[in-house]
Structure 1
Amino acid sequence: MSTIVEQLAEFTAGSRYEDLPPEVANETKRVVLDSIGCALAATDEQKGTIGLEIGARMGSGDEATILGTGGRGSVYGAAFANGELINALDFDAILPPGHVSPYVIPGALAMAEKAGTSGADFVASMAVAHEMSNRIGKAMDYLRDIKDDAMNTPQVYGYASTIFGGTAAIMRVQGLEASRIAHGLGVAGCISPINSHMAWVRHAPPTTIKYTVAGVMAQAALTAAAMGELGHRGDIQVLDDAVYGFPGMIGTKRWEPEVITAGLGETWRYIHENSYKPYPHCRVLHSVFDVMLDVLEQHDIKPEEIEHISVFGEAFVRLPIWENNTVEFPTDGQFSIAHGIALAAQRVRPGRAWQDPDLVFDPKVLAMMDKVTHEPHPDYIPFLKENGASRPAKVEISARGQVFTGETRYPKGSPSPDPSSYYSTEELVAKFRHNADGVLSAAATDDVVDMFLNLERAPDMGKVMALFAKDSKVRMAS
């Protein structure tokens, strides 16, 4: 009987663009476009610039594009830099176990460019990477777990399991056979970074690397893929052994391997849980922002008129990372509840401006933090038990001697029973254009949008990535 790793390898090697359901191909192209836009917006942000510098130190070369810079580097250097750029603003998509795209896209993107992989094969690799990462993540503990009608936040948690999806995608764009891919995945499980997420959550001031380093994850996947390609023997039992294999290594209390393999290659699950972020801030506040900005706009409430903001939202965030009110780096502001609400109250269009130090450290923003209180939404747990997309929020804004209120259950950007929460392709493209503004020319932006939404028609990812050169006129072959 095949091991889980061997089944995942067969799934990877056998996945073809032509066999993807249209909705899977479409969602995969959407998440790649969105991720690239997040990277373009982050080239001047502190975490992004550090990622660029570290990537440059990993050797010069002309193998792969470094997004948003017009420059190129080695596959390893470009993957490191692009992973950090995608995640720098915390603007990238959310997919259980959490963030996936910044860990699985960069390595495969760099390798596909170097190898001249077709756009169709690259899309297939990305569908595999997101599906595999989601399935393995859902087999483990989750941050929003409930037990006995109370939050059951795990002691050990993180996104290290995405190394399997990242490794699979790299080997898929290289066209390697299933046996090689299996050994690459077996290596991946044994060189995975640790799950350090909960240390970051519970220690304030928090580390600026956040939950894990996207660049390191991308490089680990590249290393595992290369070792499998070159003939190393991996541990193909690493996902079958719950005690001494990957589940035991990574510290999960729950291990449900049937979630990984049931319907693999036939039922695509990730598209039903992939969420986009309208705001460059931790997802825990997005429902709050939706309600709050609607109330502010509807009643044209100016920041200086606000006396107090009461927020009722996520129930599991009574932890230091979200209660932190000491904002010393822009990344601190991405997670602080009080700071996020105070910043959003300024009614600045969401985008890279939210990470501009002039706004992050604006005295008006810092002073308004004292006017913010946060409590769990009273219906949070029953709503979450009923539907996992639930992130209920209620906001009460005191201004002009009145209290203005608003409430919602599902944040914009998530698939949910509420059709209005869906993020349309038109909305994603508008977000991309805003992120690319000032980084790409208008003509290059048009070309990139057209190319990535029709990526299956591109014969060579090397030519696709040439679009990111300044004022590029490269166009897709007809």
Structure 2
Amino acid sequence: MDSASAISSDNTTHLLAGFVANLRHEDVPVEQFGYARKSVLDWLGCCVAGGREAEVRSLCDVIESMGSAPQASLIARGSKRSVLDAALLNGAAGNLLDLDDVHPQLIGHPSSVVVPTVLAVAEWKGLSGRDVLTAYVAGYEAMVRMGLAMEPELYDRGWHATGALGVFGSCAAAGNLLRLDAQQMVAAFGIAAAQAAGLRELFGTSSKCIHHGKAAMAGILACLWAQRGTQSAVDVIGGRFGMRTLSEPVRTERIAEGLGTHFHLAQTCYKRHAACGSVHAAIDAALELRERPGFSLDDIDRIDVRTHTLSVSLTAHNEHARTGYEAKYSMHYALALAFIEGSAALAVFSDARVMDPRVRALAARVHMSADPDMQYIEAMPSELALTLRDGRRTVLRVDTPKGRPSNPMDWNDMAAKFRQLATPTLDTATIDRVIADVARLEDADVGALMQRLSRATTHTHEVVAA
């Protein structure tokens, strides 16, 4: 660890910088790469599907109108732009539909920042899938450890960790790939932190995805500038006017604890449903109740939902959702759609379905309340109580929805999710090849993988036009 010789052990930024700069593939327990491959495939599906949306197409129009060097692929767009522009667009596309993974203690989405970063930089520099996986671990650890240090107070103050702390994840991932030394990484973290942003006020709007894209872009920019000798704060994490100006406390001991020996990828939570993670337990309960013998929608008089206080905070403002996107952040409409459609897949959350009189009538019968005793460990629990017209009452509580570590989605589940999200955009042969490439990502040709994902544009336009 030559570059760590000037690094101070009592400076948290220095410690994290040393970890990132010196992390190599052989330093990471092999099982962590299994989690990483699942997250890469999961994010790719989210990105391909998000690329079909009008907001991503319009952001792409803005980027392409400016022009930039063809360094990295714009997924499903059939073109290349600068590594910064690719990270921005792909990062935004990967979160737009809110199907990307989360880490509960981060209260944010690590992969929708880290994966677009590593793929853009690796494609640009001609790096290997082995390099991609190592850098993903470095970025994930940096981002999640910042969350452990600052949450939940950061969130309570109105910051969205994916943007505000995602700059550390992107910076760490890019720095590892670009082989910054530890002193350069200290500077890069300072430059990245200067770009920290992301406000919860944007939740429920499609522009929230800019938090993810900008964080990915900011981390790469920080590394490229620091690599050229630019200096910055010596301890932006623990310093008096550093990250603590966003929120206090900054528990620096949580960043240092087990750094390099304990990894957090096993706590990743994946989304089976195309909605905010705070409603997944309730959706699972609704789908289970719906399959019980004798169930009939016509029998429901009232639906009472007792849930975690954070779930109420995230969804109560969309009690009267008018669009599919608002319904993703609405307990009332997510449940109504799940009960009526028997699914909470992407296609269910359409504007037309949300405005369906049957959906609106059932949503009006949903009554939500917060239970301060419910604990958010892997997920936000929910208890559904159905009161039927004849007075009977059925109650079901779900603490851990599918996709959480103790109720996991395995590789076959992730492949099925990718197929579902990618099928409107990619042909079957390409889908099969992408799944196979990610399954053996250490040995895959990253440039060829990105070319396959990029070539989808013709198929995409046909689907949109239809």
TM over 0.5: yes
More helix as a share of residues: 2
For 1:414, the equivalent position in structure 2 comes to 404
Tell me, yes or no, if structure 1 residue 103 matches structure 2 residue 113.
yes
Q: CA deviation at 1:211?
A: 7.8
For 1:462, the equivalent position in structure 2 comes to 447
Return the match for 2:39 from 28, 31, 36.
31
Q: C-alpha separation between the residues in 2 aligned to 1:396 and 1:277?
A: 24
Q: Is the 8 A contact 2:93 2:209 kept in 1?
A: no
Q: Is the 8 A contact 1:117 1:174 kept in 2?
A: no
What do the CA deviations read for 1:92-147 (whole angstroms, capped 9, x no partner)? 1011231222222223221111111110011101111111111111101317x9xx
Q: C-alpha separation between the residues in 1 aligned to 2:78 and 2:340?
A: 33
Q: Is the 8 A contact 1:288 1:394 kept in 2?
A: yes
Amino acid at match of 2:98: D
Moved more, 304-313 or 158-167: 304-313
Q: Name stretches of at least 5 consecutive residues in structure 1 with no aligned partner.
A: 146-152, 473-478
Return the match for 2:352 from 349, 358, 367.
358
Q: C-alpha separation between the residues in 1 aligned to 2:60 and 2:353?
A: 23
Q: C-alpha separation between the residues in 2 aligned to 1:471 and 1:435?
A: 13
Amino acid at match of 2:40: V
Q: C-alpha separation between the residues in 1 aligned to 2:271 and 2:294?
A: 24
What do the CA deviations read for 1:73-92 (whole angstroms, capped 9, x no partner)? 22222211111111111111
What do the CA deviations read for 1:183-237 (whole angstroms, capped 9, x no partner)? 21121122222x422x346xxxx54423862222222222212211222112121
Q: Is the 8 A contact 2:186 2:235 kept in 1?
A: no
Q: C-alpha separation between the residues in 2 aligned to 1:26 and 1:186?
A: 31
For 1:183, the equivalent position in structure 2 comes to 187
For 1:222, the equivalent position in structure 2 comes to 220
1:73-472 to 2 correspondence within 5 Å? 73-95=81-103, 96-142=106-152, 154-159=156-161, 160-193=164-197, 195-197=198-200, 199-200=201-202, 207-210=205-208, 213-241=211-239, 243-248=240-245, 250=246, 252-268=247-263, 270-299=264-293, 301-319=295-313, 321-377=315-371, 379-380=373-374, 383-384=375-376, 388-389=377-378, 391-399=380-388, 401=390, 402-416=392-406, 421-458=407-444, 460-470=445-455
What secondary structure sits across from 2:207 in the alignment?
A: coil
Q: C-alpha separation between the residues in 1 aligned to 2:427 and 2:184?
A: 41
Q: TM-score of the superposition, structure 2-length normalised?
A: 0.88
Q: C-alpha separation between the residues in 2 aligned to 1:332 and 1:289?
A: 16
What secondary structure sits across from 1:210 in the alignment?
A: helix
What secondary structure sits across from 1:280 in the alignment?
A: coil
Q: C-alpha separation between the residues in 1 aligned to 2:348 and 2:199?
A: 26
Q: CA deviation at 1:253?
A: 2.3
Q: CA deviation at 1:433?
A: 1.2
Q: CA deviation at 1:172?
A: 1.7
Q: C-alpha separation between the residues in 1 aligned to 2:425 and 2:299?
A: 36
Q: C-alpha separation between the residues in 2 aligned to 1:471 and 1:155?
A: 41
Q: C-alpha separation between the residues in 2 aligned to 1:394 and 1:207?
A: 27
Q: Is the 8 A contact 1:47 1:84 kept in 2?
A: no
Tell me, yes or no, if structure 1 residue 68 matches structure 2 residue 68.
no
Q: C-alpha separation between the residues in 2 aligned to 1:346 and 1:89?
A: 21
CA 1:348–1:63 in structure 2 vs 1: closer, same or farther (change >3 Å)?
farther
Q: Is the 8 A contact 2:68 2:81 kept in 1?
A: yes
Q: C-alpha separation between the residues in 1 aligned to 2:393 and 2:54?
A: 38
Amino acid at match of 2:80: R
Q: CA deviation at 1:58?
A: 4.3
Q: Is the 8 A contact 2:92 2:209 kept in 1?
A: no
Moved more, 368-377 or 316-325: 316-325
For 2:464, the equivalent position in structure 1 comes to none
Q: C-alpha separation between the residues in 1 aligned to 2:299 and 2:74?
A: 44
**Number of equivalences:** 444
Q: C-alpha separation between the residues in 2 aligned to 1:53 and 1:303?
A: 44
Amino acid at match of 2:402: K
Q: Name stretches of at least 5 consecutive residues in structure 2 with no aligned partner.
A: 1-7, 458-466
What secondary structure sits across from 1:298 in the alignment?
A: coil
Q: C-alpha separation between the residues in 1 aligned to 2:38 and 2:224?
A: 28
CA 1:328–1:227 in structure 2 vs 1: closer, same or farther (change >3 Å)?
farther
What secondary structure sits across from 2:150 in the alignment?
A: coil
Q: C-alpha separation between the residues in 1 aligned to 2:228 and 2:145?
A: 27
What do the CA deviations read for 1:313-372 (whole angstroms, capped 9, x no partner)? 122344375332343443322211111111212225433203332223333222321111
Q: Is the 8 A contact 1:58 1:76 kept in 2?
A: no
Q: C-alpha separation between the residues in 2 aligned to 1:230 and 1:352?
A: 44
Seq. identity, %:
27
Question: Alpha carbon RMSD of aligned pairs, Å?
Answer: 2.4
CA 1:435–1:302 in structure 2 vs 1: closer, same or farther (change >3 Å)?
farther
For 2:4, the equivalent position in structure 1 comes to none
Moved more, 48-57 or 109-118: 48-57
Q: CA deviation at 1:56?
A: 2.8
Q: CA deviation at 1:399?
A: 4.6
Q: C-alpha separation between the residues in 1 aligned to 2:315 and 2:397?
A: 25
For 1:476, the equivalent position in structure 2 comes to none
